[in-house]
Structure 1
């Protein structure tokens, strides 16, 4: 993510209608990723949890938008305070932002930068929800979402992308969210599930995806939207870095999908659609921090390595006994770590900066910086998220009652079900009745 730059008045850029339009399109693409994530997660759960999974993503569109306008943008991208948070009173409520005010050092309005960053703030907590499928009260999730973005996401975004943030000043490279988005969400997911425990029937009952077509649809929407997520993070399109990131996004995603499927075939004997979708997402996650720093050949390496590592990591929940329902830890945390650390090996010095990784003669300097950013964000998010979950569990309660979890969280929390097969002329019941009627008609005719 290109941070704010301090420019002399004589060098200040003018508003670019091309870059402004480009960034608005990218913002819309990133917004589409949250409904895409909802479909991706919604297809992976059992029928009785489909709507709850969709709603856990959609509610983020509502809650985080309001918090971002009220104070989130100011905390994340306001004037630095101690390298930990930002604060600019004009950003509070967007009250002091003029429609033609430019983001410092760039050719796009502040409003455009703010709305682009809003979409990142929305999808990050939505990523966490996949680990909590089937068992969390919707009210408790909503309260957790408010607390988490306030205490974790907004400050971490400042660390990584805000001018003066400690990780940014250290030189940690995170083009579009390997640390601030994916490691942050994956570590938070791990922290919460360690507190709230496993689903009823974990490792005993079958918990297969109820709709793989929905999973593939969601993965396709995520892949499509991710071009805005990644290419847009350079905040313009004037120097070729954005196009490099666009190309590397496609390349790494393809490599990760193929690597995951290859591992899956060798390990389990089949190429699955779930593996293809998960592998693609793993590649998208890994190239997010690194795509502006590596070459296209480096993108193949990043994607392939992440695809195999994430495919291996998703099975760890059975070995260690934590119930990461939809593999948020295995894909987002592990993929984010891989993509962030591989910058220290594959940075070419010909992309977003002249920083070179170990394989390009740059030594270990960038690698240790990446390690500092990765493990600081991981530890902070893991601990704070676990504490928040513990406090909510001891006060309002995080989990639905066991009988509601078994019977179906959709009906208990939302008074709805995802599929109604009893309607006249449709669904399973209607189809069965039609078959019976047709059979009786043939008998009469005979």
Structure 2
């Protein structure tokens, strides 16, 4: 993504504007897709809470983005760390015909497209803390994290003047700003709030694998808007290249994850297929505009195996990442971002070439700077925010509420109501030769 910060009288393209509106809608549908993906992976007693942790982001982050988030992320640069433009506050100074500088789409279209990224990024964190966090505390964390972490990091990576953008760190659609950012935040929060009751002891299997597959399918579908839309138009072939690479890398990662799973555990699982697809989507997000289709296949395969191996680390190191946000999003984002330094072909979004194409390690070191700076900042800042909330209002529900079910405790509802599933009073079998019981007459 290569945004600018000033307005210019570029000519509006109806085709690019329409494409970007569709891409924005595709990115939005990823958040309900994420809700289904996560919702199927938790136990039945936590389903609604998991869905709500994603859905509330669509409400809260939309408001923040309009009020000040867009200005902080894409406003005029201040010190290479943060943006701010008064006209963007509340979007009060933006006219419907203002064009995003250097492009052919309205500022409103660019702003709403970026809004969808701001919505899904903190929602990704929720999978790591499933089953145990108060909904009020989660909502406050969303507000604070978006303000302190996401909006500034988005400026670093995509805002003109941001230090990572000016350094030349490549992040086509969010490997650092979205996936590493969210994955590192997830790790920071779970180190503060601790493990679920029964972690490593009680079975915590997904309650609905069909729901997981549905969510993964929606994510895969929406990701085409997420990735291809990030070029902000289709005038030079880069967006279509990203579209193609998204499909290829996702397929390669799914196959690689399943192969690893079969060799390691002896079975091809549906959960593995869904998780592998998401790992591929994550890894190609930063790199898909810079690599060739064969490079995309390599990126996907490496991410599939790498993320499959990484998800088991929580048992080795003892951190309770409920739905493998760290193993898939943080590790997948790191792999996809760093592999640009090896597989960048010089024939995509720029002429930058990676090590395998004769470009040396210059781009690799730039990628390292972006990756590890975002990872460290997000992890530390997120842990501090979680610590402050935990010491004030408390982050976790009580142990009794966690055991009995967070859905009932926090939302006064359950995901599935089986009370109407019966067919009437139970019948008692009557032995042969015995008299049938007399029914009682009920007066009207």
Residue of structure 2 aligned with 1:21, choices 7, 18, 22 = 18
User: Would you say 1:285 and 2:321 are equivalent positions?
Assistant: no
Contact 2:5 2:76 (C-alpha < 8 Å) held by counterparts: no
**Aligned counterpart in structure 2 of residue 251 of structure 1, from 248, 252, 255:** 248
For residue 106 of structure 2, the aligned residue among 86, 104, 109 is 109
Question: Which residue, 189, 193, 197 being the options, matches 2:194?
Answer: 197
CA contact (8 A) 1:5 1:105 kept: no
TM-score, with structure 2 as normaliser: 0.96
TM-score normalised to structure 1 length: 0.95
Name the CA distance, whole Å, in 1 between partners of 2:158 and 2:261.
Answer: 36
Give 1:165's match in structure 2, choosing from 162, 165, 171: 162
Alpha-carbon distance in 2 for matches of 1:18, 1:266: 48
Q: CA deviation at 1:188?
A: 0.1
State the distance in 1 between where 2:373 and 2:124 align.
20
The Cα of 1:6 is off from its aligned counterpart by 6.6
The Cα offsets for residues 320-367 of structure 1, whole Å up to 9 and x where unpaired, read as 000000000000000000000000000000000000000000000000
Per the TM alignment, residue 3 of structure 1 is displaced from its structure 2 partner at its CA by: 1.8
* Counterpart Cα distance in 2 of 1:199 and 1:193: 10
1:5 Cα deviation after fit: 7.0
- Measured in 2, the distance between the counterparts of 1:360 and 1:328 equals 32
Distance 2:251 2:4 in 1: 32
Deviations 1:110-136 (A, max 9, x none): 000000000000000000000000000
Alignment of 1:263-412 (within 5 A): 263-412=260-409
Q: Distance in 2 between matches of 1:200 and 1:102?
A: 52
CA contact (8 A) 1:5 1:163 kept: yes
| Aligned counterparts of 1:54 and 1:4: Cα–Cα separation in 2 | 35
8 Å CA contact 1:230, 1:249 repeated in 2:
yes
Query: Which residue is equivalent to 1:181?
Result: 178
Equivalent residue pairs, number:
433
Please say if 1:238 is aligned against 2:218: no
Contact 1:77 1:162 in 2 (8 A): yes
Structure 2: runs of 5 or more not aligned: 437-444
* Cα deviation 1:195-222 (Å, max 9, x = unaligned): 0000000000000000000000000000
- Answering whether residue 410 of structure 2 is matched by residue 413 of structure 1, we say yes
Paired with 2:14 and 2:60, the residues of 1 have a C-alpha distance of 30
- Structure holding more helix per residue: 1
Q: Is the 8 A contact 1:125 1:185 kept in 2?
A: yes
